[in-house]
Chains A and B, each alone.
Chain A
Amino acid sequence: MREIATTSLLPDNRSVARQAAIRAAKREERVAWQLAAPAITLIIVLILLPTLAVFIFSLTNYELGYDDFQFIGLDNYIELFGDRTFLISLKNTAIYTAIVTPFSVFIGLGVALLIEGETRGRAFFRTVYFLPVASLLVAMATVFQYLLHPTIGPVNAMLSMVGIAGPNWLGSSSTVLLSLAIIGIWQSVSFNMVLFLAGLTAIPRDLYAAAEVDGAKSSWERFRLVTWPMLGPTTLFVTTISVINAVKVFETVKTLTEGGPNKSSEVLLWTIYQEGFVFLRVGYASAMTVIFLAFLIVLMLVQYRVLDKRVHYT
């Protein structure tokens, strides 16, 4: 409607070509909206509305099974920060992430470099190292339970052979988080390796040739001069993905430790799951989810704001 109104107000000497251009632009805009509509609808229905619902739930005392609920403002959030379990789970998640992320990134890079340097068995090693991504973590958890079993597990059996009394890996509060972290590293190294391999193949071969001619004799010098800087965008992406995956740790906790012993493997998703699905306190669990989301978003923003400029060179 607005378009017609403006057109009629135009002075007569406005050229026909100009009007045609305006009409073409309008038409293109309409088509663009039509083509984008399905995606926009899906984003709203599947992502934005549920997120909004979680946020609204977090302001209520809604519990599953009860008919009514009241808006209680920020009471859930206030309760959260006095909740010892939540604070422990926040701390444990942070420790878990701090262990898993650097190890899985650097071991992933190392494995990728080794596979890239290999000429004959490349496809074989790539497949073998990719297996953990393809395998089901819940199923593999039983294997780890056996491996790390304090009395019949092969890990402790091997340790005892060299005279070390192995700990009760998953059963003692001092080692349980470390054990879970090792399983987490085992799983994400393989995925990170695949991403790094893709990044490595994108580095122009000429740069390595130039580095050699310029005097970079050792492979370490070529790594410092070419590989590491050229992998910058990949490393940033891998790190981000690794952090997100580490913060989301759940399957191993659920299947192996259930947060124990004595809350020493209590992590965020596990706590949310307990509150929401076991104690049915949907409102309270929603508040935790909002904190969880906010934590992730802030982390990503910081990473991209601070680092993105430093790893993209064009």
Chain B
Amino acid sequence: MSAFALRNISKSYGANSILNDVSIEAEEGEFIALVGPSGCGKSTLLRIAAGLDHGDTGSIWMGDREITAIHPADRNVAMVFQSYALYPHLTAEQNIAVPLAMRNLSTLQRMPFLGRFVSGRRTAQAGIKQQVLTTATSLQIDHLLDRKPGQMSGGQRQRVALARALVRQPGVFLMDEPLSNLDANLRVHTRAEIVDLHRRAGVPTIYVTHDQSEALSMADRVAVMMGGKVLQFDSPASIYDDPRHIEVAKFVGSPRINIINAITSENGAVILAGKTVAEGVTGPVGTPIQLAIRPERIKLRSASAKGIAATISRLEFLGSEVLVATHVAGTEDDLVVKAVPADIAHLAAGAPVTLQIDKDACLIFGQDGLRVPMRTPTRIAVDA
């Protein structure tokens, strides 16, 4: 049984389907990333998980307790918002204390002025203060406690928002693009910190992002969402190396995966510029397919080497690596190859080169976008 689960959630506004039978579950202490382009329904799913929104069908479970109809306040979920959603009139300390005060103090004790005279308030407040301080110290924001959100930088506000979520022990953490308002440097830094926090707290986390590199680098499992559906829910390595759908392959990885339109030949072979790059594709001869190859799985060799003849059309120097756009006769789009600078030392645009493609690097997708099954292991005698 999973620690937190969303089962068969669907939601539509009129004829507009936002979520279509989505199921996601997180094991105890697991970090799940929901990733997809904007408008894919990932934020709506998170709001449904928090109870701020409701699906048309489906159920939400925390352990063996169904919480589908439970008010967000009673779900024991904590949420970090993209905008941080800090209360601007409260100091950092008061902001972090809100979830504790709402739970540990009675309505009477929270009354302005009158609350002071209700018994037990002082003890409860001392406890809250201590918890706030502990959480703030662990996030290194204890020196900011008496500042208001308006007097803090984006990164500091982000930490206060994290502290507000961390301060009580929630059943699940929900994070809605918490890093997207930070600058690039801080984002990479905070990424590691959030993962670290997650490891220490051990609370299942659902993290929504549109940044595939964020999802791959942080999560234990990644759910790739498109058009209201989960296309693949798998480990980052499987998502990257073994995508089930061409949209997943295209969405994940930078630079983008190379896609070549081709037609199968005898024995399910796929032939590119006279060279067989894959074999054993199921289906009749002449089936149109899409061949996808990661840029780092293509090797750049000198023009005299055996392989697929190509011409360099563009070079992009990125420091540790170079992206080489090459043109193969008979194909429409350039094939992008990731090479090390040493490989292209004396090459310029227009130079002829040879490409060698690993046979097991070719991913074959059908016209419906799904992976095409292979008849036999694709490892065959290299004729390149």
Interface readout for A192-234 with B: 1 if CB under 8 Å, 0 if not? 0000000000001011011111111100010001100110100
B149 CB to closest chain A CB (Å) equals: 7
Interchain CB contact under 8 A, B102 and A207: no
- Find chain B residues with CB under 8 A from A221 CB: 102, 107
8 closest A-B pairs by beta carbon, nearest first, are A215-B102, A314-B150, A210-B85, A206-B85, A229-B89, A313-B88, A217-B73, A214-B99
- Find chain B residues with CB under 8 A from A215 CB: 73, 98-99, 102-103
Residue of B51, B73, B78, B82 near A216 (CB, 8 A) is B73
> Any chain A CB within 8 A of the CB of B81?
yes
Interchain CB contact under 8 A, B89 and A313: yes
In the complex, what residue of chain A is closest to B112 when comparing beta carbons? A224
Known: A213-B78, A216-B73, A221-B107; 13 extra A-B contacts, CB below 8 A, are A206-B81, A206-B83, A207-B85, A209-B81, A210-B86, A212-B51, A213-B50, A214-B164, A215-B102, A216-B102, A217-B71, A217-B74, A232-B89
Instruction: Give the docked Cα–Cα distance between A226 and B89 (Å).
Output: 9
Given A225-B98, A313-B148, are A213 and B89 neighbors across the interface (CB < 8 Å)?
no
> Any chain A CB within 8 A of the CB of B357?
no
**Chain A residues near B (Cβ < 8 Å):** 204, 206-207, 209-217, 221, 225-226, 229-230, 232, 313-314
- Find chain A residues with CB under 8 A from B99 CB: 213-215
* Interchain residue pairs with CB less than 8 A apart (7): A206-B83, A209-B85, A215-B73, A215-B103, A216-B73, A221-B107, A229-B89
Instruction: Give the docked Cα–Cα distance between A213 and B78 (Å).
Output: 6
A51 CB to closest chain B CB (Å) equals: 37
8 A Cβ contacts from B81-135 to A: 81-83, 85-90, 98-99, 102-103, 107
Given A206-B81, A313-B150, are A213 and B73 neighbors across the interface (CB < 8 Å)?
yes
Instruction: Give the docked Cα–Cα distance between A221 and B81 (Å).
Output: 20
Interchain CB contact under 8 A, A213 and B87: no
- Find chain B residues with CB under 8 A from A314 CB: 88, 148, 150
Interface readout for B135-153 with A: 1 if CB under 8 Å, 0 if not? 0000000000000111000
Interchain CB contact under 8 A, B73 and A212: yes
B14 CB to closest chain A CB (Å) equals: 15
- Find chain A residues with CB under 8 A from B78 CB: 213
In the complex, what residue of chain B is closest to A228 when comparing beta carbons? B89
Instruction: Give the docked Cα–Cα distance between A214 and B72 (Å).
Output: 8
- SS class of chain A's interface: helix, strand, loop or mixed? helix
- Find chain B residues with CB under 8 A from A212 CB: 50-52, 71-73
> Any chain A CB within 8 A of the CB of B47?
yes
- Find chain A residues with CB under 8 A from B87 CB: 207, 210, 225-226, 229
Residue of B52, B88, B148, B150 near A213 (CB, 8 A) is B52
Instruction: Give the docked Cα–Cα distance between A213 and B46 (Å).
Output: 12
B152 CB to closest chain A CB (Å) equals: 10
Instruction: Give the docked Cα–Cα distance between A26 and B85 (Å).
Output: 45
Instruction: Give the docked Cα–Cα distance between A229 and B98 (Å).
Output: 14
Instruction: Give the docked Cα–Cα distance between A137 and B81 (Å).
Output: 48
- Find chain A residues with CB under 8 A from B86 CB: 210
- Find chain A residues with CB under 8 A from B90 CB: 229
- Find chain B residues with CB under 8 A from A229 CB: 87-90
A222 CB to closest chain B CB (Å) equals: 10
Instruction: Give the docked Cα–Cα distance between A89 and B95 (Å).
Output: 48
In the complex, what residue of chain B is closest to A218 when comparing beta carbons? B107
A184 CB to closest chain B CB (Å) equals: 29
- Find chain B residues with CB under 8 A from A213 CB: 50-52, 72-73, 77-79, 99
A308 CB to closest chain B CB (Å) equals: 14
Instruction: Give the docked Cα–Cα distance between A229 and B150 (Å).
Output: 14
Instruction: Give the docked Cα–Cα distance between A210 and B77 (Å).
Output: 11
Interchain CB contact under 8 A, A313 and B73: no
In the complex, what residue of chain A is closest to B151 when comparing beta carbons? A314
Interchain CB contact under 8 A, A313 and B102: no
Instruction: Give the docked Cα–Cα distance between A211 and B71 (Å).
Output: 12
In the complex, what residue of chain B is closest to A226 when comparing beta carbons? B87
A223 CB to closest chain B CB (Å) equals: 13
- Find chain A residues with CB under 8 A from B81 CB: 206, 209-210
Interchain CB contact under 8 A, A230 and B52: no
In the complex, what residue of chain A is closest to B47 when comparing beta carbons? A209
Interchain CB contact under 8 A, B79 and A210: yes
Interchain CB contact under 8 A, B102 and A214: yes
A277 CB to closest chain B CB (Å) equals: 48
A75 CB to closest chain B CB (Å) equals: 49
Interchain CB contact under 8 A, A209 and B103: no
- Which of B83, B85, B102, B150 has the largest number of chain A CB atoms within 10 A? B85
Instruction: Give the docked Cα–Cα distance between A178 and B122 (Å).
Output: 45
Instruction: Give the docked Cα–Cα distance between A220 and B167 (Å).
Output: 24
Interchain CB contact under 8 A, B88 and A230: yes
